[in-house]
Structure 1
C-alpha cells in the first residue's frame, strides 16, 4: 500500500456513505483494532439530525473494522485509498446495528438452504452543473442516442475507467431518459460483494464528476419534479451448492424453476414492507407512480417494466447462466446491504412456506384489476415494515428500531419542508 490516507467507509442505515480517514502510519494498527465510532452515529438520519434511539445514545463506542478484500486506491484522488468496514463491538462481534452484518446473516441463511445469491445494482443517476438557481442537467441528449453518448463522454468515460481500475466490470454505460441522466450496469457478484460494489459505484461516480470535472452527480430517486426518477434496479439470481444458476428449469430456459417461483413469491408477499428498505427515503415515493417504469403495485411479469418484479429474458447462447430477475422498486437512497439482505430473507420465506407465485401481469398492472398498490408514502412503508416479522426479526431489535426512528423523523422533517426544499437539500446526499 502506497496511499498516504485511507478512508474507512461504511453505509449507515439512512443510506449515506460515511466513514473516517487515517494516515498510513496508523493504518496497520487500525486494521486490527478498528476505529472508534460513537454508537449514536447510526442514529443520524438523512438530514444529519441525531434521532433518539435507545441503545444508540452518544455514550459508548463501537469499532469500524475494515474488510481488506475491499481495499482500493481511489483513481480520482492522489494518494488516497478506501476500504469498506463492518461495525462491531469491543469484543469484535456484531453489535446489532451494522447493515453489512445483517446482509452476512441473510447470506448465511441462504447457505443453510443450499443457495447463494448473485446480484448487481443497475444505477441511474443525473449529471448536473451548479448554477445560481440550483443544479442544472449537464450533457443532455436524446435517450439512447449517439449524440447523448458523445455529450456525456468526457465524464462517463472517466467513470468507466475508474470503475474498471478498481476491479469492477462495467457491462453498459448509456444515456437514459431524463435530461442529463445516465445509467451504468456492472457485472454481478456474490451478494456481499454486490452490495459493496454498489457503494463503490456511488462513491466513484460522484468523485469523478466532482473532483475531475467540477460537476454534480445525484443518485436521488426524484431530483427534479418534472423529470423522470432514478432507480437502481436490483438484479439477482439463485445458485445451488455447485454454483449453477437455478432460476430456470434445465429443459425450459425461458421459464422459471419451482425454486425461483417460490423465492419470487416470497419477495412479492413481503414487498409492501421490503420497499421500506429498497425505496426508503421521503422522495422515493414520488418515483413509485404508475407509468414511471418503476413499479407501483405488488406485481411481476416477464419483461414487464411496469411490474415491480421483472423476470428478465435470458440471452441466446447462455440462457440458463443469464436467467435473472430484476426488482425495479429499488433506488440508490437505499443502503444496499439492507436492501439485498431484506430481499434474500423475503425470498427464503417464500421457499420455506412453499408460496405459489400468482399469474404474471401481461400488461401494465396499474391498469388491471386485482393488483395491490404499494405504499404511497415513506410513512406507510415504515408501518408495513414494522408489522413484518420476517424482516424485523431478521434485522434484529436494534437495527429495526433505528430504521423506524430515523426514517420517521426524516418523514416528519421533509413533510414540513415540502418536496421542492427536500429535493434541494438531498440532491447531493445520494
Structure 2
C-alpha cells in the first residue's frame, strides 16, 4: 500500500510530524492532511532552538542557536514516510504519526540525522550493525502532581520490594504489561521481552534486534508512550539514572553485532575461544579506547553521574568479559547469529540515536585501526581496578568530549561543539543551585 492509499484508507484529517530532540524526547506538531502533502514534499519548518532545550524547556546556551548571535530561524524537518505509525488511543483520522529529522545546516547537530551519517560511514567500510536496546525505568503509583507535592521523596513505587524476574509481581501487574504490549502494536514497536528489575517498581522493556534507524526509532517511541500510558492510568514513570539514594541505577543497554555487505556475521570465528573473531576483538578494542572520550554521550545529565555511587550495579570501568555482567562491555552469545557485545555504560536518560552512533563509531574505528583490547575480566569485575575508565565527573566528560579528535571526526565538529556547550550550560545551571542535602548538613552547624 502506498502512502496516498494509506491516508485515504485511514480517513486522515490530521497527522503528527515528530522529531527527536537532543534529550531523546519526541517533539512535533499536528498538521492537516492538506498541509501534510506539502510537508512530505518540502519539509516542515522548526527552529533549531528545539535542540537546545532541557526536558522542561530550560534554554541551554548553545553557540549560534541561543546566544547573542542567534536569529531563531526555522530549518526544515525532512519527513521519513517509511516511519508512519498509529498513535494509540487516538481515533482513526487523527492517529497517524511520522518521524522526521532536520535538513539544512541543523542536520549536523540532529541526533537522528547524525546516526544516519554514522551508519552510512560504517556501510562504506563494509559493515552493517544489528542491534537491540534494553530500557530500564521505574513505575510509580503517583501522579506527577502527587510526586511534586511530596518533593519527589517517599514515593509509592508500583511494587514494594526488589523483585528481579519475580513472577508474583509480573502477575500482579499483568494489566500494565498487557497495556504496554497493546500500546506497542500500533506504534510498530517490536517488544522482545518485559520483566521486573532489581527495585520496587523497577522494570525493563527490550526492543528486538534490528537494523538501520529502526531500533533507535522504536526506543524513542517506547520512552514517550510508556510515559503517556502511565499518565493515562494516573501513574508516572521516571528514566532518571538515579532517582533516589535507595534506588539502584537505571540504564539503557545496547546489544550490537556486525554483518558484512553479504549479510555474514563477522563477530564469529568457530576456531577462537567463545567464537570471538579477530574483527570482534578489534571492535571491543575500539570501544575500550574511545568510549572515554564519548562519556558525555552516554552520561548526558547531572543526574547520570550519580548512577556510579558505591554499591550500585553500574559498570566499574571500561572492562570487558564473556558473559560477565560486572563489566561495562559484556560479550554474550554462542553462535554466529547471537554473538554480540552489550554496552552497559549508557544511562536510562541517554538519547538512543546518539548512544548507537557513538558505540558503532568507536567499534568500527577499532576494526579499521586493528586495536587489541585489554585482557578480559574473569570473575567479579568490581574488585579489579580497570585498565581503562570513563569520566566520573561531568566537567571532565565535557572537556574530554570537546577536545576529542575522534568525536569530531565521527560525530562532526558542529555536533561536538553544540552538545558540549549545551551540557556545560546544564551543569552551570545546576551548580548555581543549593541542594537540600547541603542545607541539612551545613545550615546550622557548618
* TM-score between the two structures when normalised by the length of structure 2: 0.87
Structure 1 partner of 2:288: 268
Which of residues 48, 55, 61 is equivalent to 1:52? 61
Asked if residue 230 in structure 1 is aligned to residue 246 in structure 2, the reply is no
Asked if residue 398 in structure 1 is aligned to residue 414 in structure 2, the reply is yes
Which of residues 340, 358, 364 is equivalent to 1:342? 358
Offset, 1:182: 0.9
Asked if residue 10 in structure 1 is aligned to residue 19 in structure 2, the reply is yes
Runs of 5+ in structure 2 lacking a partner?
Answer: 1-6, 438-446
1:101-250 paired onto structure 2 within 5 Å: 101-128=113-140, 129-130=142-143, 131=146, 132-133=149-150, 134=152, 135-140=155-160, 142-211=163-232, 213-250=233-270
Contact 1:191 1:340 in 2 (8 A): no
Contact 2:374 2:387 in 1 (8 A): no
- The secondary structure found in structure 1 opposite 2:410 is helix
1:300-338 deviation per Cα after TM superposition (whole angstroms, max 9, x unaligned): 111111211110133xxxx21011110000123111111
Structure 2 partner of 1:72: 85
Asked if residue 278 in structure 1 is aligned to residue 298 in structure 2, the reply is yes
Contact 2:76 2:103 in 1 (8 A): yes
Query: How far, CA to CA, are the matches of 2:273 and 2:336 in structure 1?
Result: 5
1:158-177 deviation per Cα after TM superposition (whole angstroms, max 9, x unaligned): 11222133332222110111
Contact 1:45 1:409 in 2 (8 A): no
Query: How far, CA to CA, are the matches of 1:371 and 1:383 in structure 2?
Result: 21
Contact 1:253 1:323 in 2 (8 A): no
- The secondary structure found in structure 1 opposite 2:336 is helix
1:316-362 deviation per Cα after TM superposition (whole angstroms, max 9, x unaligned): xxx21011110000123111111111111111211121101111111
Offset, 1:252: 5.0
Taking structure 1 as reference, are residues 415 and 106 closer, same or farther at Cα in structure 2, changes over 3 Å only?
A: same
Greater RCO, CA 8 A, separation 6+ = 1
Contact 2:242 2:306 in 1 (8 A): yes
Structure 1 partner of 2:392: 376
- The secondary structure found in structure 2 opposite 1:273 is coil
Contact 1:38 1:58 in 2 (8 A): no
Offset, 1:108: 1.1
Query: How far, CA to CA, are the matches of 2:80 and 2:28 in structure 1?
Result: 14
Taking structure 1 as reference, are residues 253 and 214 closer, same or farther at Cα in structure 2, changes over 3 Å only?
A: farther
- The secondary structure found in structure 1 opposite 2:113 is helix
Structure 1 partner of 2:379: 363
Deviates more, 1:146-155 or 1:21-30: 21-30
Taking structure 1 as reference, are residues 148 and 356 closer, same or farther at Cα in structure 2, changes over 3 Å only?
A: same
Structure 1 partner of 2:441: none
- The secondary structure found in structure 1 opposite 2:429 is helix
Offset, 1:253: 7.9
Contact 2:316 2:386 in 1 (8 A): no
Asked if residue 293 in structure 1 is aligned to residue 313 in structure 2, the reply is yes
Contact 2:319 2:386 in 1 (8 A): no
Asked if residue 353 in structure 1 is aligned to residue 369 in structure 2, the reply is yes
Which of residues 391, 412, 428 is equivalent to 1:412? 428
Aligned residue pair count: 413
Asked if residue 255 in structure 1 is aligned to residue 280 in structure 2, the reply is no
- The secondary structure found in structure 2 opposite 1:338 is helix
1:243-286 deviation per Cα after TM superposition (whole angstroms, max 9, x unaligned): 12221214458231111110111011111122211221111111
1:63-85 deviation per Cα after TM superposition (whole angstroms, max 9, x unaligned): 11211111111113333232211
Query: How far, CA to CA, are the matches of 1:197 and 1:370 in structure 2?
Result: 34
1:85-126 deviation per Cα after TM superposition (whole angstroms, max 9, x unaligned): 11012xxx7642211111111111111111100111101111
Structure 1 partner of 2:346: 330
Runs of 5+ in structure 1 lacking a partner?
Answer: 422-430
